Amino acid sequence: NHTYTHTMIAYIEPYFLDNDADAASVTGQSFDGVSESLHIQGEILCGGAAADIAGKDFGGMNCVKPLAVVRPVGPEDIAGAVRAALRSDKLTVAARGNGHSINGQAMAEGGLVLDMRSTAENHFEVGFLPSGAFVDVSGGALWENVLKRCVSEYGLAPRSWTDYLGLTVGGTLSNAGVGGQAFRYGPQTSNVTELDVVTGNGDVVTCSEVENSELFFSVLGGLGQFGIITRARVLLQPAPDMVRWIRIVYTEFDEFTRDAEWLVSQKDESSFDYVEGFVFVNGDDPVNGWPTVPLHPDHDFDPTQLPQSSGSVLYCLELALHYRDSDSNSTVDKRVERLIGRLRFVEGLRFEVDLPYVDFLLRVKRAEEIAKVNGTWETPHPWLNLFVSKRDIGEFDRTVFKELAKNGVGGPMLVYPLLRSSPLYFTELCMDPRVVSSLAVSYLMSKRDLLHCLYNKAQTLDEITRGVTACEGTEWDDRASVVLPEGEIFYIVALLRFVPTCAKTSSFEKMVAQNQEIVQWCVRKGIDFKLYLPHYKSREEWIRHFGNRWSRFVDRKTMYDPMAILSPGQKIFNRAP
């Protein structure tokens, strides 16, 4: 076996040339001989063709040469590639979703990259259980296509989304998958009930909360370190027909956060279906300022509505309410007014449009099309994503938004609250804690689960059990690999920087330096934060990132990928010799 893996590497290596002109001569070729030695049915691309596909990512800041790109046909091909790597003394394997990472996380220098998009169509099956509907989809499927098929064929849709849907199921589940629905349903990792995974041992395993549960939770938010997701079972809900999409403007950060936190802490029917927010520059800059707020070309941002006291940056709360075609306009208006009437935004700076649900979820696609036309989709994207605890978000605003980023970052600056637990938990916090504790003991339940049930006015143990089941999947599960700041409420902050095509290298370098400055400031100040989509250069930084979860992460690695073959681009573990 060793011999054939070495033969395979020896076979591929000559095709992987440093000279681009030579590499171009093999571009686009597949190598049946290599395919045979790997026992892989799918296509294998080497040289320039491999570098074209997997040598860069959306971040555009890394350029890495893989040995080969494999287009697997299914899990057996994926397991075949992993086993070949296991038999070699240096090969690594990276699953590549849609390559939308920023810092080379889906790359494998001199290794095998699995282009998961080739498996996109392998699964699509909707099923129904007493607990609700689900769809089985491929790890390599794009969320955009999952949405379109679920809605058009079944009138159903997943519950928790990212803002942009040109991402793969396996790619977002390896991180968390966060968007404006996460306050209610949790991240995407909390909305899957079963996975098929190829581990770093080359095993093909089905896992869930009850079957191989350690692997299930390891893989969720696991940065690709423990296994390659080939199938995910995603929870569904009835898809609404329409969405009212609203933006309202604030001048004061504390008023913005108070309203946002109030909205995300309400019960389902007492809030919007989507809550996000962003910071923008108080000026007419087309990329960073007022023009980024209106939702329709007919809308005008009238700065005379702003109080004199307004600062250098302003805040926008972005909300959406689902409704059905059969709902009358006045019913929708009433629901909106009831909620919005409690919020303290700047009168006169409110924008809203009605649009089909699918168009709402695909809203960032329009921005993608524009960026592709003006060239900024291809330029580097030194993005920074963090989770910052509620405790420190005010200080973060004062230093980062109001000072370091007060002229904008060349793209959106998102900031909105997320809940660690479900909103029901908050509604119940006012209950007498002694009562809750004693009931929890007598029902052998966690206080949190019990509170969920009590809220639903469940009287019997049976009802409580049902109540707990109904509340499942609404929160960040501590058993998953993703790490969060302390506290029940934390904010996602995303500095989505776009570099203009005409920009000098120095402006891009300044952006990277500013990201580092922000992270270093957070560390220095003892800000309670975690990087989302993390990227570090040293082992010490990874240990700090995982904190008291580091040893669990290492144990999981030892169990599921002991040779450290998977996702080397995360730069957490070195391939074992």
Q: Name the residue among 381, 399, 404 with its Cα closest to residue 503.
A: 381
Of the candidate spans 339-347, 349-357, 521-529, 566-574, the one that interacts with ligand FAD by CB under 6 A turns out to be: 566-574
As beta bridge partners, residue 246 has 319, 352
Helix (H) or strand (E) holding 21: helix 20-26
Nearer to ligand FAD, 92 or 288 (CB): 92
**Which backbone phi and psi does 47 adopt, to 5 degrees?**
55, -140
Work out how close the CB of 223 gets to ligand FAD at its nearest, in angstroms, rounded to a whole number.
6
Work out how close the CB of 224 gets to ligand FAD at its nearest, in angstroms, rounded to a whole number.
3
Q: Which of residues 222-241 bind ligand FAD (CB under 6 A)?
A: 223-224, 228-229
Strands (E), 394-549: 413-419, 489-495, 529-531
Specify whether the CB–CB gap between 345 and 259 falls below 8 A: yes
Q: Name the residue among 188, 208, 246 with its Cα closest to residue 476.
A: 188
Looking at residue 168, the DSSP 8-state letter turns out to be B
189 is an interface residue for ligand FAD by CB under 6 A: no
Q: Which of 13, 76, 109, 163 is catalytic?
A: 163
164 is an interface residue for ligand FAD by CB under 6 A: yes
Strands (E), 12-171: 43-46, 68-71, 93-96, 112-115, 124-129, 132-138, 156-158
Work out how close the CB of 566 gets to ligand FAD at its nearest, in angstroms, rounded to a whole number.
7
Binds ligand FAD by CB under 6 A, chosen from 170, 221, 408, 485: 170
Q: Which of residues 448-487 bind ligand FAD (CB under 6 A)?
A: none
Q: What is the 3-state secondary structure (H, E, C) of 291-304?
A: HHCCCCCCCCCCHH
Binds ligand FAD by CB under 6 A, chosen from 9, 69, 135, 176: 176
Cα distance between residue 558 and residue 538, in whole Å: 19
Nearer to ligand FAD, 306 or 484 (CB): 484
Q: Which of 196, 261, 273, 276 is catalytic?
A: 276
Work out how close the CB of 242 gets to ligand FAD at its nearest, in angstroms, rounded to a whole number.
22
408 is an interface residue for ligand FAD by CB under 6 A: no
171 is an interface residue for ligand FAD by CB under 6 A: yes
**Other beta carbons less than 10 A from residue 479's beta carbon:** 14
Cα distance between residue 15 and residue 8, in whole Å: 12
Q: Are strands 112-115 and 227-238 parallel, antiparallel or unpaired?
A: unpaired
Does residue 462 have an active-site annotation? Answer: no
Of the candidate spans 25-33, 67-75, 173-181, 323-331, the one that interacts with ligand FAD by CB under 6 A turns out to be: 173-181
Nearer to ligand FAD, 171 or 410 (CB): 171
At residue 275, the 3 state secondary structure works out as: strand
Specify whether the CB–CB gap between 386 and 529 falls below 8 A: yes
Does residue 540 have an active-site annotation? Answer: no
Specify whether the CB–CB gap between 512 and 61 falls below 8 A: yes
Work out how close the CB of 53 gets to ligand FAD at its nearest, in angstroms, rounded to a whole number.
11
Site map (CB under 6 A) of ligand FAD, residues 274-313, x = contact: ----------------------------------------
Work out how close the CB of 62 gets to ligand FAD at its nearest, in angstroms, rounded to a whole number.
12
- Tokens for 577, please give them: 């010799």
Work out how close the CB of 179 gets to ligand FAD at its nearest, in angstroms, rounded to a whole number.
5
Site map (CB under 6 A) of ligand FAD, residues 65-94, x = contact: -----------------------------x
Q: Name the residue among 97, 132, 118 with its Cα closest to residue 45.
A: 118
Does residue 395 have an active-site annotation? Answer: no
Work out how close the CB of 230 gets to ligand FAD at its nearest, in angstroms, rounded to a whole number.
7
**Residue 224 amino acid letter:** G
Work out how close the CB of 91 gets to ligand FAD at its nearest, in angstroms, rounded to a whole number.
15
Q: Which of 43, 77, 100, 318 is catalytic?
A: 100
215 is an interface residue for ligand FAD by CB under 6 A: no
567 is an interface residue for ligand FAD by CB under 6 A: yes
Of the candidate spans 151-159, 177-185, 398-406, 425-433, the one that interacts with ligand FAD by CB under 6 A turns out to be: 177-185
Nearer to ligand FAD, 48 or 170 (CB): 170
Work out how close the CB of 226 gets to ligand FAD at its nearest, in angstroms, rounded to a whole number.
8
Number of residues engaging ligand FAD in binding (CB under 6 A):
35
Q: Name the residue among 294, 333, 58 with its Cα closest to residue 171.
A: 58
Binds ligand FAD by CB under 6 A, chosen from 5, 92, 160, 162: 162
Nearer to ligand FAD, 413 or 450 (CB): 413
Of the candidate spans 1-9, 38-46, 156-164, 552-560, the one that interacts with ligand FAD by CB under 6 A turns out to be: 156-164
Residue with tokens 């049976």: 462
167 is an interface residue for ligand FAD by CB under 6 A: yes
Site map (CB under 6 A) of ligand FAD, residues 22-61, x = contact: ------------------------------------x---
Q: Which of residues 94-113 bind ligand FAD (CB under 6 A)?
A: 94-101, 105-106
Binds ligand FAD by CB under 6 A, chosen from 118, 172, 271, 474: 172
Work out how close the CB of 180 gets to ligand FAD at its nearest, in angstroms, rounded to a whole number.
9
Q: Which residues contact residue 36 at a Cβ distance below 8 angstroms, ignoring those fewer than 6 apart?
A: none
Specify whether the CB–CB gap between 531 and 545 falls below 8 A: yes
**Residue 105 amino acid letter:** Q
Q: Which residues contact residue 482 at a Cβ distance below 8 angstroms, ignoring those fewer than 6 apart?
A: 175, 176, 187, 189, 220, 221, 476
Helix (H) or strand (E) holding 437: helix 433-443
Of the candidate spans 20-28, 121-129, 170-178, 392-400, the one that interacts with ligand FAD by CB under 6 A turns out to be: 170-178
Specify whether the CB–CB gap between 212 and 254 falls below 8 A: no
Cα distance between residue 81 and residue 561, in whole Å: 14
Cα distance between residue 164 and residue 172, in whole Å: 11
Residue with tokens 């409110």: 350
Cα distance between residue 501 and residue 507, in whole Å: 11
Cα distance between residue 131 and residue 470, in whole Å: 8
Contacts with ligand FAD, residue ranges (CB under 6 A): 58, 94-101, 105-106, 116, 139, 162-164, 167-168, 170-172, 174-179, 223-224, 228-229, 533, 567, 569-570
Residues with a catalytic annotation lie at: 100, 163, 276
